[in-house]
Structure formats: structure tokens, C-alpha cells
A and B are shown apart, each in its own frame.
Chain A
Amino acid sequence: MSMAWEVVIGLEVHVQLNTRSKIFCACSTAFGAEPNAHTCPVCLAMPGALPVLNEAAVDKAIAFGLAIGAELNHRSVFARKNYFYPDLPKGYQISQYEIPIVGRGHLDVLLPDGIEKRINITRAHLEEDAGKSLHEAYAGESGIDLNRAGTPLLEIVSEPDMRSAVEAVAYLKKLHALVRYLDISDGNMQEGSFRCDANVSLRRPSEPFGTRAEIKNLNSFRFLEKAISYEILRQQDILEAGGKVVQETRLFDANHGETRSMRSKEEANDYRYFPDPDLLPLQLEEKRIERVRVALPELPDARKARFIEQYGLPVYDAAVLTAARELADYYEIVATGQDAKLAANWVMGELLGALNKAGLEIDSCPVAAEELRQLLARIADQTISGKIAKEIFEILFAEGGSVDAIIEARGLRQITDSSAIVAMIDEIIQKNPQQAADYRAGKEKLFGFFVGQVMKASQGKANPDQVNALLRERLQAQ
């Protein structure tokens, strides 16, 4: 296998904006209603019905533009993208073509190796979602549900700046975190609120871009990674066999972990874009932009800076903890009144490890942040040792419950009574005269043996600092 291929990846992400009503009519955007229950003459494309733009969709697009440091276009234009499809009732999608609302911006992404990389964003534009075709319901027929038709989307198009699947996933995760920070989308990938298409091509370094394939239907971070990895191998095989990559749309088949050509859609798509004459140019007044700017929440990068400043965290910790708004919120609860670095270690180590093992996201974490804070508080007040704390955490994660109740019920309170510890130490020295003699003769390494014996005898509950000090004292004394 040749190592000389460079992967070039650009992502187009469709984000459903979490407005109450649709982008061009007053129908609800709520997910999961009866088929076609959330429709009206406008989103059913009845004859004579006309679109009127939802201001919340505009404000959310502005918020996104401000968050990525983009140039906002003070005048943008809605265009029609004409094609026929049963879930597209008007026979055209209202989108933005020549002049989008959000121009060039960027996102700084922290890669797993700790390096930060800037991914440029070409544009973001407002458009309407299509409905859904249900293929399984009826023999030989498909059912059309237009509840989703007209849901506002922000389509975010990146530059082809990513060079690996890992970078693509890191960018997508950062984008996902950002739209949730901004509260412009629920980001629910299962329900299709956050969908990604990837443009993937290969080239020899410093040569011009190769022909790209567009992979659709990537509705999880894992699928994105798998699809890109598959696509890289596929294109590499073609190129190394002297073939040519065809510019086409491919569908990711999650069941087989491969991408497949979408032949049916390959017929020359001539979308005949033109400015929608039912809508006038969208003008952004400075007042509106200012209003959105003032209402912006603290964004990931600002929060990261604050974590470094306020909690004294290393850059890496701050970046990991602020990657998702929910995680950052969680951390701030845990760190309240506790050692901030210790809190960070616990959240990044124990908590994220356990979540990862269980395949869970932070928003479905079984351990409440308040409980983890309590756990740290019990370490701090010496009720338990760090080791016992880890045991308790495992119980919390698996079974729930409260920290104090678990300590009481299982008798896990730390032993800090010196006379009790001395009694245990003396008994162990008595039982191991040879080791005691060897230690005194200079075999320093045996100290660890004695510590282990004492901890074992106390079932891990003896205060380790006290054990250390008292053990040294008693071994010396005899």
C-alpha cells in the first residue's frame, strides 16, 4: 500500500434549527406527530400559497455566524432549487444560492493529539427541509409525510480543509457542540436534526484536488469515520489500479459499513436556480445583529479560556471539558467548592471513561453531577480514601444512589483512629518477624509490603497517610 496519498475532506452539514414554527409557515416543527398532521396550504404547496420568513430562523443563523467569526451578508437572497421528488411538494426547495446569510468563518478544532487546527467555513445558508418518504408501509407504494417539509435548516459548508477521518470527526463534534451551546438546534442525530454529507477525494501531496465523491446519509460520528475510512480505501484501490474516481453521490450503508453509488439520482441534475420571486431580499439591520450578539451564550472558546483562568486547568483539560456544553456544565457543578484539578481528573478520567465504556453521552449520564461533587467532598473531608471513592463511583454509575448512603450502608468510612491503626500494624509486624527484620536491615522495598498488608487488613479503609506515618514509626521502634 502506498502511503503517498493525501486525503482531502470537506463537510456539508444540515442543522435543523429549533424554532417553534416552520421557516415559511406557522406549522409546528415538533418531531413525531401523526403523518401530515403538521401541514398547511403553504408547506403542502397548495396552489396560491406563499412563503413568509420566520424571524427566529434568521436570528439563529445570525447567532451561528457571529459564533464562527463570519462575515454576515447584510443583504442575502432566497433562490429556488428546482427538482422533482415526492417529498419536495413545490417541486423546488427554497434555499440560498448566490448570496447566503452567513459568509466566510472558521472553527478551531482540538485534535486528539492535542494540536489545534483551524477549519475554514465557506458559508452557511438558510433553507427548508423536505418531507419523508416511507417505503415499508405499503406494497409497491411509498407514503409521503410532509410534517418535516419546511423545517428550517442551516446548511454549513466547510472548506476542504480536513486531512483525515479523525479531523473530520473532530470538526463535526465541535460543530455539534457549538450549535447546542448556541441553542440553535437540539442536535439530535437520530431524529435527523444534525446531518452530515462528506466530500472525499485523494491526491498526491501538493497536487491539485482529485475528483471527489459525495457521501450522504451520515447520521452519527461513527458513521462519518467509517464511511470516510471505507471511501479512502475504495478510492485508493481505484487510483492505484490506474483508474479514475467518478464524481458521484454515494450513500453510506451502515449495515455493511460501505458506501454505494446512488445511480437513480445520477441523471444530470440541472437545478435551474433562480431568485425566488415570492420572497424579497433579506436585509439584516445592525440592530438585529446587535440584539443577537448581546444574547449569545458563553461560547466554547471563551469558556475554555475561563476554565484555564478561573480553575487553573491545563489547556488540554479545559478544551476537553468545554467540548460539549453539557460536559462543561457538569464539570462546573462538580468543581464547585472542590479542588478544581481533582474535579477535572475525575470528570475526564473516571466519568468519561465509564461513559465511553457504556456507550453513553454526557446528557444521559447515570451519575448526577451533584453526587460526584459530594464524592469529592468526602475525599476532602477524609471520610473516604481516593481508592474507596473509585469503588463508590462504580456503584453510583451501575446502581445509582447517593454517596453518603453508599458509604454508610457498606461501611466504607475511612479508619482515622490512630490506636486502631497501630493495633493492626503491631499485629502484622508480629506475624511477619522475618520481613520486619529484613526491613530494619535496610531492605527499604519491604515497606510497600507492609502497607499492602495493613490496607488489606483494614479492607482498604485505613487512612493511607496515617498508615504510612504510623507504620514507619512502629517498624523503627521495634
Chain B
Amino acid sequence: MELHQMGVAELSAGLRNKDFSAVELSSTLLQRLRQAQDSLNACITISEEPGLEQARAADQRRAQGDSAPLLGIPLAHKDIFCTRGQRTTCGSKMLAEFVSPYDATVVQRFQKAGMVTLGKLNMDEFAMGSSNETSFFGAVRNPWDLTRVPGGSSGGSAAALAARLLPAATGTDTGGSIRQPAAFCGVTGLKPTYGRVSRYGMIAFASSLDQGGPMARSAADCALLMDVMAGHDPLDSTSHPQAAGRFSAALGRSVKGLRIGVPEEFFGEGLDPEVAQAVQEAIQWYVREGAEIRPVHLPNNVHAVSTYYVLAPAEASSNLSRFDGIRYSHRSGSAVDLQDLYLLSRYEGFGPEVRRRILVGSYVLSAGYYDAYYRKAQQLRALIREDFRRAFAEVDVIMGPTTPTPAFALGAKSADPVAMYLADIYTIAVNLAGIPALSLPCGFSKAGLPIGLQIMGNYFADELILGLGDAYQRDSDWHQQEPGWEEQ
């Protein structure tokens, strides 16, 4: 196996055995990242020198006897995480020139663990999108079919992992932004329980929904990343005091006796039959291993999309007010007075989807509409959480598809925002409730596109769902399939 084909666990063993150095590993991957830019556009920034510098430091730490499990392993961050002294754009013209003066807590934790940051990954602008087409830095292409989207908003992360440019990446998930691209690209991604991963330094889209998480090629690798990534952060008021966990140590569990909920709401109209079949077969694997299936109901899931498209834009409209052209963000060259400075800088700096969502958000919070939209959506949010509470009284996990269809074609939905929003129908409720969910590859369509299985768990069941994903991956090789993007 070549270096770029190895996952986190294999690389960790290789580095430990001195089969190769961190510098060799990073050099190889930096070269691949560069080469893939033209066809995939997965990166916004490739950090050559700083990356190699960190790799050298990792080798030095190892020479001095440091044996941290992730020491010397490369990764790249979704460009939503602030990295000190480096450009952090959030996929927007608004921040195209922004050099962060500080590191996100997540970035800091990975650095402390000795991981090597090789760059910043492409994403939908301010994480608003499900196709990576809203990025100011251009769309990312799906390594399985370059005419298709990688999903979004963590599309650069998913594409880079699938194309074997990186063994690990960070993502963020507000309404499915880790899981949906993971499903579209055939990789594994975890949206953790809200509060387990610090949001400090992670550019906010919708604060009460946003959660950073690991993306990799297997659940086991995600667990290794979570060991470092999760933990209480005093700089984030919404960080859970018991956020830390021993994720990789919890792997290798048996499936016997597991109660799996399969909600009929996730298998209704609009679900692609190929997706339905692959997901059902994966669930059957668990049954063969001793799990039992129980029907559960999530009756309010039908309201998840509308609830989300009130709450998320509302929070976003306020979160994005700080981009005013005064302290660090894009300033219009044609502004003569203060009002123009705001109006033009924000018009020029934000792309159409971001502008749209800001307007929706301002509207639902404005005088006279708050109760009908914002408050109402908060009540529906409570009902959606209640559905999960009831379901998890009966079952240990809930399984279903991550997305209704495999990756769609570039441009297919970009003209109609609502069509794009409906693609998130299976992922959004998880964010509204704040529970964890994992997406992992469970098959391919006839056209050769990956299909994702989604495993949802109760609050703090992150370890459990990672373990269940790992159990499946020990007995399947969907996650080991490689796309032939280099030949396309």
C-alpha cells in the first residue's frame, strides 16, 4: 500500500515503526494536493512551508521519544477554522484577505497532538450550501465523477479524503454538512453531540446547530481524531463539561442485542431506490450480527427542513453582521459614506446564497414576524427533539440513509434554492435535536456513486455509533474503494 492510501491508524503504525518520516509523508501528500487542484479544487490554501515545518517538528518530537498516536499525521482543516497567521476565508470573498490572529481550539488541539496541517479545504461560502458550488473559490468536484458535486458544505474535506489526498480532515455540520458530503464522496464523517467539540475559532453559521467533527476514511480513524478533537473548552460557553471521551478505546464492540430503530419517515417518497436498497442491506448486516430491528416514528421530521430554514438563517443573519468592512473583512472600494461602506461591502463580499439567507433571517426576526416564524420554529424544534427522546427510549440507535440520492450533477440544483434545501431532509433533524450521527459508505449506485448509511445516536452516544460503524467496516470494504479521478 502506498502512503497516500493508508488511513490514520496505518500511518500511525508506520510512523511509530519508522517505516517513513512525517516529512516524507507530508511531502508526498503536499504533492498530491497540488496535483489534484486542477481537477478537484479541494483546497483553498495549500500550506507547503508551514506544513513541512510542522512535519519536521513532529519528527523531532518523535526522536525525543514522544509517541503521541497522531504525531506526524497530516490533516487539513475546512477553511471555516481559524488558523493563526494563515488566511482563513470561509469560502467567501468577504474573508479572502483575512489572516487570522488566532487559532481555533480544534486547530490548537490537533497541533498539540502533533498533527501536521497541510492546508485549508474548500467549502460552501460560510457553510451555506449542500453542493460546494457557493464557494467564492469555485466548486469542488466529486472524485467519483468530476461532473458531479461532492456535497457540502464540507465538500473540500470529503473530496480530498476520497481522492486520497489526505488521511484526515475536519468538517463542520450545521444541517448535514459533514454527513452529506461524506455520503456523496464515499468517506466516513461524524457529526458529534452538540457541545463535545469546541466552536471557538470555528466561524459561526448557526451557533445553536453548528458542530465541528472529524472526517476520514473509516469510523476507526474518526474515533482517533475524536480522541483529540473533543473536550471541554472554557472559551466556548456551549462546550459541554463532559465533552471529552475515549473514542478509539470504545471500538471493537459486539452488535449482539443492539436495538436498531428504522423510521419509516426515512424511507418514503423521494428516496432513490438504489439508496434504499443499499441502506437496507447494511441494516440487514447488523441483524445478521445479532441486532434487532424496531420500528420507530419521527412524525415531526417532515417539518425539519422548514424549521431549519427559519432558525439557521435567523442565527446566521446576526452572526454574519460582524462582516462590515471595518476590521478585517472585504471593504468596497466605491463606498464614500458610512452607509455605503456597509451596503456595498456586504453586497460585494457575500455571494447570492449567503445574501439570500441573511435576508430570510432578518425577516423572520423582524418586528411582527418573530412569533410566527422564529418562535414557532423553536417550538417545532422542541417537538422534533421530543420525537428522538421517545424513539431512544425504545432503541439504541436509529439507522437510515444519509441522503435521498447519490451525488447530483454540478449545476443541477443551483438555480432553485428550495430543491437544494430538500436534499438535506434526512440530516437536519439531528442538528435540531443536537444528537450525534455518523455517515459511512454502504454501497454504490449502478452509476458507480457512493451511498451513505446514517447511524444516529442519543446524546453522548458518539462512542457507540463510531463503534457500530467500525464493526460494519471490519466486515465490508465499501470504504476502501478508491475513485478513478486521475483517469477522468
Residues of A within 8 A of B (CB): 41, 44-53, 80, 82, 84, 86, 89-92, 144, 270, 272-274, 277-280
Residue pair A278, B324 in contact (C-beta under 8 Å): no
Docked complex Cα distance between A80 and B317 (Å): 12
Which B residues are CB-close (under 8 A) to A47? 82, 88, 90, 95, 98, 100, 203-204, 322-323, 328
Contact check: which of B81, B203, B324, B366 meets A272 at CB < 8 Å? B366
Tell me which residues from 104 to 155 in chain B have a Cβ below 8 Å from any Cβ of chain A.
104
Measured CB to CB, the closest approach of chain B to A422, in angstroms, equals 85
Residue pair B82, A48 in contact (C-beta under 8 Å): yes
Measured CB to CB, the closest approach of chain B to A325, in angstroms, equals 35
Residue pair B321, A82 in contact (C-beta under 8 Å): yes
Docked complex Cα distance between A272 and B200 (Å): 25
Residue pair A49, B200 in contact (C-beta under 8 Å): yes
Chain B 277-315, CB-CB to A under 8 Å as 1, else 0, gives: 000000000000000000000000000000000000011
Residue pair B234, A52 in contact (C-beta under 8 Å): yes
Residue pair B338, A86 in contact (C-beta under 8 Å): yes
Tell me which residues from 354 to 380 in chain B have a Cβ below 8 Å from any Cβ of chain A.
362, 365-367, 370, 374
User: Chain B interface residue count: which class?
Assistant: 35 or more
Please classify the interface of chain B as helix (H, G, I), strand (E, B), loop, or mixed, using the class held by over half of its residues: loop
Residue pair A278, B322 in contact (C-beta under 8 Å): no
Which A residues are CB-close (under 8 A) to B104? 48
Interchain Cβ contacts under 8 Å between A and B, 24 examples: A44-B327, A46-B102, A47-B88, A47-B90, A47-B95, A48-B81, A48-B200, A50-B199, A50-B236, A50-B238, A51-B237, A82-B321, A82-B365, A84-B324, A89-B326, A89-B327, A90-B322, A91-B318, A91-B322, A92-B321, A272-B318, A277-B315, A278-B237, A279-B238
Residue pair A50, B95 in contact (C-beta under 8 Å): no
Residue pair A82, B237 in contact (C-beta under 8 Å): no
Contact check: which of A46, A50, A90, A270 meets B321 at CB < 8 Å? A90
B206 within 8 A of A: yes
Residue pair B321, A84 in contact (C-beta under 8 Å): yes
Which B residues are CB-close (under 8 A) to A144? 326
Q: Given the known A-B contacts A47-B88, A48-B82, A278-B238, are A89 and B204 also in contact in the complex, defined by CB atoms under 8 Å?
A: no
Residue pair B100, A50 in contact (C-beta under 8 Å): no
Measured CB to CB, the closest approach of chain A to B471, in angstroms, equals 35
Measured CB to CB, the closest approach of chain B to A95, in angstroms, equals 13
Residue pair A274, B370 in contact (C-beta under 8 Å): yes
B65 within 8 A of A: no
Docked complex Cα distance between A277 and B195 (Å): 12
B328 nearest in chain A by CB position: A46
Which B residues are CB-close (under 8 A) to A277? 206-208, 238, 315
Tell me which residues from 245 to 269 in chain B have a Cβ below 8 Å from any Cβ of chain A.
none
B202 within 8 A of A: yes
Q: Given the known A-B contacts A45-B322, A48-B204, are A274 and B365 also in contact in the complex, defined by CB atoms under 8 Å?
A: yes
Which B residues are CB-close (under 8 A) to A46? 82, 100-102, 327-328
Which A residues are CB-close (under 8 A) to B101? 41, 46
Measured CB to CB, the closest approach of chain A to B13, in angstroms, equals 34
Measured CB to CB, the closest approach of chain A to B55, in angstroms, equals 26
B408 within 8 A of A: no
Contact check: which of B81, B201, B320, B338 meets A49 at CB < 8 Å? B201
Residue pair A48, B202 in contact (C-beta under 8 Å): yes
Docked complex Cα distance between A460 and B298 (Å): 99
B343 nearest in chain A by CB position: A84
Which B residues are CB-close (under 8 A) to A84? 321, 324, 342
B235 within 8 A of A: yes
Docked complex Cα distance between A89 and B328 (Å): 11
Which A residues are CB-close (under 8 A) to B362? 272
B374 nearest in chain A by CB position: A274
Residue pair A280, B204 in contact (C-beta under 8 Å): no
Which B residues are CB-close (under 8 A) to A89? 322, 326-327
Which A residues are CB-close (under 8 A) to B80? 48
Q: Given the known A-B contacts A45-B327, A48-B203, are A53 and B237 also in contact in the complex, defined by CB atoms under 8 Å?
A: yes
Measured CB to CB, the closest approach of chain B to A297, in angstroms, equals 31
Chain B 196-216, CB-CB to A under 8 Å as 1, else 0, gives: 000111111011100000000
Measured CB to CB, the closest approach of chain B to A137, in angstroms, equals 16
Measured CB to CB, the closest approach of chain A to B151, in angstroms, equals 23
Which B residues are CB-close (under 8 A) to A92? 318, 321
Which B residues are CB-close (under 8 A) to A279? 237-238
A41 nearest in chain B by CB position: B102
Residue pair A280, B238 in contact (C-beta under 8 Å): yes
B94 nearest in chain A by CB position: A47
Tell me which residues from 139 to 185 in chain B have a Cβ below 8 Å from any Cβ of chain A.
none
Which A residues are CB-close (under 8 A) to B199? 48, 50
B365 nearest in chain A by CB position: A272
Docked complex Cα distance between A74 and B231 (Å): 29
Q: Given the known A-B contacts A270-B367, A277-B315, are A50 and B324 also in contact in the complex, defined by CB atoms under 8 Å?
A: no
Measured CB to CB, the closest approach of chain A to B45, in angstroms, equals 15
Which B residues are CB-close (under 8 A) to A53? 237
Measured CB to CB, the closest approach of chain B to A453, in angstroms, equals 78
Docked complex Cα distance between A48 and B102 (Å): 10
B88 nearest in chain A by CB position: A47
A91 nearest in chain B by CB position: B321
A39 nearest in chain B by CB position: B327
Which A residues are CB-close (under 8 A) to B95? 47
Docked complex Cα distance between A92 and B203 (Å): 16
